[in-house]
Amino acid sequence: MVRVRFAPSPTGPLHIGGVRTALFNYLFAKRNGGKMILRIEDTDQTRFVEGAEEYIMESLEWCGIKFDEGIKEGGNYGPYRQSDRREIYNKYAKILIENQSVYMAFDSPEELDKLRSEAEAKGETFVYNHESRKNLKNSLALSKEQVAELLENKTPYVLRFKMPENQLVELYDEIRGEIKFNTQELDDKVLVKTDGLPTYHLANIVDDHLMEITHVIRGEEWLPSLPLHDLLYRAFGWTAPKFAHLPLILKPSGKGKLSKRDGDQLGFPVFPTQWDSGEEIFKGYREEGYFPEAFINMLALLGWNPGTEQEIFSMDELIQVFSLDRVGKSGSRFDPDKTKWFNHQYLIKKSGEELAEEFKVILDEKNINYSGFPLARICEMLKERVNFIHELWEESYFFFQAPETYDEKFLKKSYKEDSTQLLQKLIEILKNQQNFSSEEIENSVKTWIESAEIGFGRVMSPFRLALVGAGKGPHVFDIVEIIGKDESIRRISALIEFVDGK
RNA sequence: GGUCCAUUCGUCUAGGGGUUAGGACGUCAGGUUUUCAUCCUGGUAACAGGGGUUCGAUUCCCCUAUGGACUGCCA
């Protein structure tokens, strides 16, 4: 049984890189009939952020990523919050002490900071490793008596991993293939902090083992800790799960991995849903008007591809075709334009009725009275022209309200000397029109234009101007039908008056 | 600095010892729409560089360059 986990730390909102990691885990699990687990990694109490845990669960739910086990869902492998698993880690830390895979280090953070800055001043980097540990305050370098004394005085200490010397570790990544490390280059990572809580490294190995995780799918930033993790499994005598390290998501412009503030600077959201930090509000895809399906579709194709030319995938379709061996190795820059295109694709797939339901919310906010208007028909008519539902207003306002101003350029271009006269004639025709359907009105008007040999543009352009106030919008006669005879005539008269008064 | 990872059109990517190096977004041009948008057609544009291996490398190997990640009692 495939079991994967998404293991965020609740230090703030989840950005799209994290969402993609969750998505790939989810797709992989579902593709293989496995389980998807949410584990909250909150071993760092100093970075706790109120509301982050709820944010993570809620935003993933919006995305359509569901968990089989987690703090909300429950499950047989809990608790699913690391801060609720302290005793478990203590137990496993003891095993490492007993088999001498770790040692006690009494160096204070201040002492280590000092060593780091001293090294930096010399253009070097301080590393706590097999070399330097011989001269530091730890149970390896100190005598038994000294250690006993430090313990007697209740000197705080951490547990560090005793990295083996000069050992070649050959590892396999499901995406990248073989990766080799020499332990010589690795440092002695802290596994248990002075507060008694484990660091990520220990907690993650213990939990993945206990939760019977079969595949660890995580961001590329974890690749450098892979050898440590593998060595930890060996120290426990456990079999390691399979690993897959996903390529990073880069900023759209410039270099570097996408970060929290890039959105505001570059004008697109970085988070699935809005996040209010108390001081600042970060935009979300949901609030900007993106459909979750479009957002997920875009994310799925960032770093993965199906090997075919299909681009539009529902979540179910993604589950059917997803595989890790089609995940790329190089980081991908995020493209906001393409994300909009995806949204457009999903928007035009929706029916007029569906769109109308959502459009109503926007009309209500604007206090627009739309009763009597065929909203579904209007949405259907205009959906090709927009990327977002909220943009529908900009394309349809003239249905609900008469133009208050006229586009200067279009007025100049379309309103000629005889326009007033032609519009007056047009009013006559509309008045006499019995069947007021788009098609019938068009018939009548065309018959007149043709028989009078006027030329379509000379009538249609001012006509559109009168109805819309600008040179845009759908078929003129559709507008006429929808707003009705009286309103159409009123608008034409208004335009004539406007020009007369000029 | 050190370790590790990566490198195909502007961007996301397909491909893989012999291809006109394919698609999508963007962009540009034409056509349709007597408006605008859509849509259609077409164009633009890429194998980072240098060495090998080979009859032949964009593809395999090495080096260089560039970019990135990591280098915390963070995850």
In this complex, the residue with its CA at the shortest distance from the C1' of nucleotide B35 is A471
Catalytic residue (one of A260, A283, A425, A485): A260
Q: What is the spatial distance, in angstroms and rounded to an integer, between the CA atom of A253 and the C1' atom of B64?
A: 26
What 8-state DSSP symbol labels residue A239? P
In this complex, the residue with its CA at the shortest distance from the C1' of nucleotide B33 is A475
Q: What is the pLDDT of residue A418?
A: 86
Nucleotide nearest to A249 (CA to C1'): B68
In this complex, the residue with its CA at the shortest distance from the C1' of nucleotide B11 is A335
Q: What is the spatial distance, in angstroms and rounded to an integer, between the CA atom of A180 and the C1' atom of B64?
A: 22
Report the largest interatomic distance among the alpha carbons of chain A, rounded to a whole angstrom: 114
Q: What is the spatial distance, in angstroms and rounded to an integer, between the CA atom of A39 and the C1' atom of B73?
A: 22
Nucleotide nearest to A460 (CA to C1'): B34
Q: What is the pLDDT along chain A (502 residues), one digit of tens a residue?
A: 999 999 999 999 999 999 999 999 999 999 999 999 999 999 988 889 999 999 999 999 999 999 999 999 999 997 999 999 999 999 999 999 999 999 999 999 999 999 998 888 888 889 999 999 999 999 999 999 999 999 999 999 999 999 999 899 999 999 999 899 999 989 999 999 999 999 999 999 999 999 999 999 999 999 999 999 999 999 999 999 999 999 999 887 656 777 777 777 677 899 999 999 888 899 999 999 999 999 999 999 999 999 998 999 999 999 999 999 999 999 998 888 899 999 999 999 999 999 999 999 999 999 999 998 999 999 999 999 999 999 999 999 999 999 988 988 888 888 888 888 999 999 999 998 888 889 889 988 988 888 888 888 888 999 999 999 998 999 999 999 999 989 999 999 999 999 887 6
Q: What is the spatial distance, in angstroms and rounded to an integer, between the CA atom of A316 and the C1' atom of B21?
A: 32
Q: And the tokens for A108? A: 């204070």
Q: What is the pLDDT of residue A251?
A: 80
Measured distance CA(A386)–CA(A375) in Å, rounded: 16
Q: Has A260 been annotated as catalytic? A: yes
Nucleotide nearest to A475 (CA to C1'): B35
Burial status of residue A121 (CB atoms within 10 A of its CB: 0-12, 13-18, 19 or more): exposed
Measured distance CA(A222)–CA(A220) in Å, rounded: 5
Instruction: Tell me what percent of chain A is helix, strand and coil, each rounded to the nearest 5.
Output: 50, 10, 35
**Cβ–Cβ < 8 Å for A176, A182:** no
Measured distance CA(A211)–CA(A76) in Å, rounded: 9
Measured distance CA(A35)–CA(A26) in Å, rounded: 8
Q: What is the spatial distance, in angstroms and rounded to an integer, between the CA atom of A495 and the C1' atom of B60?
A: 74
Q: Which residues contact A440 (CB under 8 A, 6 or more apart)?
A: A433
Q: What is the pLDDT of residue A132?
A: 92
Nucleotide nearest to A116 (CA to C1'): B72
Q: What is the spatial distance, in angstroms and rounded to an integer, between the CA atom of A275 and the C1' atom of B14?
A: 37
Q: What is the spatial distance, in angstroms and rounded to an integer, between the CA atom of A225 and the C1' atom of B70?
A: 8
**Cβ–Cβ < 8 Å for A175, A244:** yes
pLDDT, tens digit, 9 for 90 and up, residues A28-51: 999 999 999 999 999 988 889 999
DSSP H/E element including A115 = helix A109-121
Nucleotide nearest to A455 (CA to C1'): B34
- Rg for chain A, CA atoms, rounded: 33
HEC profile for A267-298?
A: CCCCECCCEECCCCEECEHHHHCCCHHHHHHH
In this complex, the residue with its CA at the shortest distance from the C1' of nucleotide B74 is A44
Q: What is the pLDDT of residue A253?
A: 65
pLDDT, tens digit, 9 for 90 and up, residues A347-384: 999 999 999 999 999 999 999 999 989 999 999 999 99
Helix (H, G, I), strand (E, B) or coil at A327: strand
Nucleotide nearest to A193 (CA to C1'): B73
Q: What is the pLDDT of residue A213?
A: 97
Q: What is the pLDDT of residue A268?
A: 83
Interface confidence, given as ipTM, is 0.93
**Residue with structure tokens 């009013």?**
A427
**Cβ–Cβ < 8 Å for A469, A456:** no
Q: Directed axis angle between helix A456-468 and helix A438-452, to 10°? A: 140
Q: What is the pLDDT of residue A267?
A: 74
Q: What is the spatial distance, in angstroms and rounded to an integer, between the CA atom of A21 and the C1' atom of B11?
A: 21
Sheet containing A102-105: give its strands across: A102-105, A158-161, A190-192
Bases along strand B below 7 A from a protein CB: 1-8, 10-15, 22-26, 34-39, 67-75
Burial status of residue A253 (CB atoms within 10 A of its CB: 0-12, 13-18, 19 or more): exposed
